[in-house]
Chain A
């Protein structure tokens, strides 16, 4: 019992000294994606696929996503960046973006005087496994263009 007290007393200064050697995290800037001048439309979680994504767009795309337009703005450019989820290291209770899985670009272009067309492109990131299938283009176009913008103050 006595030894416990002295332990408590001796341990204190030791602990106080040892508090300083806190280890510092290793930052991983390669997980960031630079969407240039495109603005945020919204984020999308998919727990079935274990991914989390950001949909960005230029002003014309943002307008598509904010208003119910009869047809999409020509010149709208979208970028959908998808990351693999990972547990947040310091908080059990949050999943965050880890390695980039894919980057999809979509442009609404003029086909002729009356019609528009879509220009879609799928790029893989480090988190993409060779066996993972590619998404079906028409479905992705529909998915991206149907997204409504998240509400901001």
Chain B
């Protein structure tokens, strides 16, 4: 067989150069839309977010020259678009206050678990990492947010208001088709929690398939596993230190069916708010918000936080 000659290498080099140049022509520009409502936070907190997160999660991305070269530019553009769609520090008021708080706690967790800033970004931008002492600053800050010490002082309501009761006699159904069902009241408890970030306490139930899987230390959890988390406000602490459940807030479901719910990591998510069990979310996209957080932070447990672990 004849070895490829000089001519071959020359034409290959020309083709590659053309491809590279072609890529540069089509290389996307990263645009910075106007800043409409920037996050307000103490200076030391803001400085950390600006340095480590703003390049993707804001409209003030500082794109370095090397980030503008294809194919890196394509990846960076995609990362920035995805990051902004999750939350944008420059359009912070698009989120209701409660969501803003939850996002800040999620940020602390994403950093603590080494998930953010993205590893590929840290490699290209060596100054991007958040240090232990900076994480401590952020932790201290989230502990000052209003939800942190929220106490449910309202009178405890045991029945949905009568008008709602008459108008919604049928079973509430989540936008993705998951109906509310009270079966969980006969299931076993897999976890009990004090969620101090938003001031609530929770009981988490697992059906037989779920409880058996935990017993057998089986991960990922099998199809048919079901989890229901019931959430209450927290009453004021008594003299002995006891904190008791206040008003019912919501019930959240996770149903494992790896085929049916393949776009949300095999789990069907549903949430029913208040005693009238109003299905949460405005569009079916709500389930992606649920899955995004569970996917980012609990992949080791098949995306379930509330499991007993060593």
Contacts and interface: CB of A to CB of B under 8 A. Distances in A.
A7 B301 CA distance: 31
Nearest to B121: A8
A90 B66 contact: no
A150 B72 contact: no
A51 B244 CA distance: 13
A32 B191 CA distance: 8
A113 interface: no
A48 to B, nearest CB: 3
B191 A96 contact: yes
Contact of A11 (B71, B123, B245): B123
A92 B244 CA distance: 22
Interface of B: 65-66, 69, 71-72, 75, 105, 108-109, 112-113, 119-120, 123-125, 139, 142, 156-158, 160, 180, 182, 185-186, 188-197, 201-203, 211, 214-215, 217-219, 230, 232, 234, 237, 240-245, 247-248, 251, 272, 275, 277, 297-301, 305-310
Interface in A4-43: 4-5, 7-9, 11-12, 15, 22-35, 39-40, 42-43
B297 A90 contact: yes
Nearest to B124: A8
A92 B108 contact: yes
A25 B304 CA distance: 11
Give chain B's interface secondary structure class.
mixed
B217 A23 contact: no
A54 B310 contact: no
Nearest to B299: A22
A35 B189 contact: yes
26 contacts: A5-B124, A8-B120, A9-B71, A11-B120, A27-B217, A27-B218, A27-B219, A28-B310, A29-B217, A32-B211, A33-B189, A34-B188, A35-B189, A39-B186, A42-B245, A43-B245, A46-B241, A48-B241, A52-B192, A94-B195, A96-B192, A96-B194, A96-B306, A150-B232, A153-B160, A153-B277
Given A40-B189, A92-B139, A25 B307 contact: yes
B294 to A, nearest CB: 9
A39 to B, nearest CB: 7
B105 A92 contact: yes
Nearest to B75: A12
Contact of A5 (B72, B193, B211, B299): B72
Counting contact residues on chain A (CB < 8 A from B), the size range is 35 or more
B222 to A, nearest CB: 13
B158 A46 contact: no
Contact of B234 (A28, A35, A45, A93): A45
Nearest to A98: B308
Nearest to B76: A8
A9 B72 contact: yes
Contacts of A5: 66, 69, 72, 124
A97 B156 CA distance: 25
B309 A27 contact: yes
Given A11-B124, A90-B298, 18 more contacts: A8-B72, A8-B124, A9-B71, A30-B308, A32-B190, A39-B186, A43-B202, A49-B241, A52-B193, A92-B108, A93-B142, A95-B193, A95-B194, A95-B196, A96-B193, A96-B194, A150-B232, A153-B272
A81 B160 CA distance: 30
B189 A45 contact: no
